[in-house]
Amino acid sequence: MQPLLDQLTAEPAVDLVAAEETRARLPLIAGGLSVALARTFRILQPERHNPQTAEWEQAIDVFDLLL
């Protein structure tokens, strides 16, 4: 699980440096966003068990609005 979390929290190459406390919380933030995304699928398509491209696009559109 840790390699996946490390990949999800990879930082983009920018000139800004995040505080150590912020960097330490990135795995928790990524995990929370992953849970929120999973719950979004259940709200948008409660009968769907294996989201396809259309469901992913809907969920991503919702996240784009919120983030």
Which top CATH class is 2-66?
mainly alpha
Alpha-carbon distances of 22 from 11, 15, 17, 45, rounded to whole Å: 12, 16, 10, 34
Under DSSP, is residue 24 helix (H, G, I), strand (E, B) or coil?
helix
* Structural domain spans, the chain: 2-66
Q: Encode pLDDT of 7-63 as tens digits.
A: 666 666 666 777 889 889 999 998 998 899 888 888 988 888 888 898 888 888 988
Cβ atoms < 10 Å from Cβ of 54: 11
Q: What is the phi/psi pair of residue 7, to 5°?
A: -70, -40
pLDDT of residue 14: 65
pTM of the model: 0.60
